[in-house]
Amino acid sequence: MPHTRYAPDRGLTTRMVTTMFFIGLLYVVFIGVLLAVFKGAWPLIVIIAGGLFVAQFWFSDRIAAFSMGAREVTPQQAPELHGAVDRLCALADMPKPRVAIADTDVPNAFATGRNQRNALVCATTGLLRRLEPEELEGVLAHELSHVAHRDVAVMTIASFLGVLAGIMTRAALWGGLSRGSRNNNVGIAVLLIPLISAVVYAISFLLTRLLSRYRELSADRAGALLTGRPSALAAALTKVTGQMARIPTQDLRKVEPFNAFFFAPALSGESVSRLFSSHPTLERRLDQLARISTQLGQAGRD
């Protein structure tokens, strides 16, 4: 991890390496199956796989910002938001990321980018309207932790590989079916490839969910230790989670695909079970922050 004053998390690093190893292995096996079945279409498979992966890696921050409707803002346009990011970056001894605002009433925030110098931190207008300055700093400290630990880049890549599996399946089937008269294996491939793609997607989905839940706890812990105010982050978590119930369902459904990158999940009713949630439960997050508050209090008395 690049040097910052954020507390290192070896557990997070281990999980990121493990997740990328297994997803990479899964990806290689999947590519191998496609190449074995569609021997004549291998240039198309390689070009699509390589091109999309490079595009996602280099432009993930712009893709996320565009998808969320985020717009970069200057210090003159959002002085309080920039001021909070400036203070936290100075405290953490890390480069300042680009700062953006998404015009939605869903109270949330996210960070994206392949490294610290290409990172973007975004808060929604709904979040800015609802939080007190100390609560906002707690949320931003949480998001900047994702950037410092580089887990946002790992999540971006890991999430993309599952999607890419489906794209390549369609491309390979299209390339193979177009040569159906010369390929006796097309009938088998029509049944086999979608099944393999579903397995690849399911495994990558579960791996990213497990990593996502841990990284949220890690970011809560690192953000609370950096600011020294775990109670402010706990208050923000409670407020944001409580306000989600007041957001129209149609607005929540629009942003649900980005839940893995959000500060708190935007869920419409019981649409996602605990097993498949991208975040740990609110109770678990608050319990951890309460323990950190107790530890900081004891350290202060000592």
Sheet of strand 109-112, all strands in order from the earlier edge strand to the far edge? 70-72, 98-102, 120-124, 109-112
Candidates 30, 260, 24; CA nearest to 167 is 30
113: left (phi over 0), alpha (psi -120 to 50) or beta: left
Q: DSSP secondary structure string, 52-100?
A: HHHHHHHHHHHHHHHHHTEEE--TTT-HHHHHHHHHHHHHHT-PPPEEE
Rounded to whole angstroms, the Cα distance separating 125 from 131 reads 10
Sequence letter at residue 209 = R
Give the other-Cβ count within 10 Å of 144's Cβ: 28
The two structure tokens encoding residue 66:
């565009």
Rounded to whole angstroms, the Cα distance separating 137 from 229 reads 10
Return the sign of the alpha-carbon dihedral for residues 105, 238, 86, 15.
Answer: negative
Please give the biggest Cα pair distance in the chain. 80
The active-site residue out of 72, 134, 137, 143 is: 143
Phi, psi for residue 226 in degrees, rounded to 5: -65, -50
- In the residue annotation, 143 being an active-site residue is answered as yes
Q: Is 216 annotated as a binding residue?
A: yes
Rounded to whole angstroms, the Cα distance separating 176 from 88 reads 53
Q: Is 3 annotated as a binding residue?
A: no
- Name the binding residues: 142, 146, 216
List, by residue number, the catalytic residues. Answer: 143
Q: Which residue numbers belong to the known binding site for Zn(2+)?
A: 142, 146, 216
